[in-house]
Structure 1
């Protein structure tokens, strides 16, 4: 069965249940594969912190599990007509704010073992690797489920299709959670794949397990913490000035998440592209500098 992009994004009426579920699955895979602000920053942060294929896949799975549960609930609301609240109110601001707050809390725990802190002073000091090495905590993967549940309340083009077009076509309320479930499974498949890819970024050559662990945890902590602050600021700005959320520059690509440069796209670029990659480079340099200093001390001792 060939499905065109037009059919995916504008499903016709009167579809049988099997086609509705197939469309939902494919839409979920597109959602997971494209740079979505509700999935990529979180999966990247947790997966990178586990620095292994298995750990990265687990991060993608657990996040998508929470997301899938919420999406099944959402399409049930769509079937009975209660999802209309999304047409009346823009919830992007509150969702960004809450997602950012949870990210910052998780990042704070990794960096300091505390649930809230302001490590701004550390930005002013370069020789912090040895000082912080024993303070870094393991990445709390269970938090990804919480992130998934919260992020699932974010609403975009894909959510609109499964909630307002596909779910109402189902024969009874017992089928209503299925589009959300299959959409979540599709997202989960892609997030597991990307989680494995993100995690393997940490497999650098000539690095010990301890050094890789440090770089991975430091990157995860910084990305979650500072990325979370970016989400909080974006959420507050949208709450105060809702028109910001409507700003977009069209790319001419019909696929959602690739169709425009907007707030969501910029959040992905800032958190994953800027904060995430910069954190990897910065942490790597700390390790190299520390290794060099140790070698110099050994030479001096001789």
Structure 2
């Protein structure tokens, strides 16, 4: 029996590689045809779509593949968080270095336009203020992109003045008209002005005028709003109270609908409204400096004459 098995093995050994090649060849042929998108059929060839390459959903994945995909997503998410933290740390450290150096890094330059300032980069204005730095007609532009950066000086705290405003300094919402000069050391509570203790003395005259206070300290006399020795009247006439009431007249108001209150210049109630000045719109000026109708409308000439006649009522046109 052993001889029989050995004999059969010797016979099959010579044809064994050919048997293996014959069994593999049909499989390779079918795979090649599927890759080309065709398959053989009786009577000819029929086209079939190539194998789908769509991404498998989580439900279609095997447990091992699903776990691997989740691990990869988690790793990528952690990497993104780390990169974001590193970027924020670098930005914060740079900001701290700039603050320690005395200010924030900015790009501020003078120019007539943002484009001009961004392209020329001639005159830096770190404070963001154009006065005293930029030329006439220029402004200080920020947030430039092509100019060298600079360190802006840190904001300075306001000076400690103790809440007292000296004589001659600007006081928001208040003024001193000089009508009744306060006694030395007194305070103008409404205006928030505190006068120096040894500031002035006043003298009344026989004609009702008040002599301007005499200042003991010559250096402080320059802070007064009037000359020393000037006679201050007790009151002022209405013509010198510097009150201006301006009216604005539109020449096309005469073309309004009769139900919409059409008005000519003579209809302006100058006295009723207490107008001191009136503005006429519009007029034109010739190259020779003469007034001429705006837009060449000759009807405006009669309105000009009617408007100038309002001076007789006490107003002044502009």
Judging by fraction of residues, say which structure has more helix: 1
- Quick check: which has more Rg, 1 or 2? 2
The answer to whether the superposition gives a TM-score over 0.5 is no
Give TM class, smaller chain. under 0.3
Q: So what's the TM-score if we normalise by structure 1?
A: 0.16
Q: So what's the TM-score if we normalise by structure 2?
A: 0.16
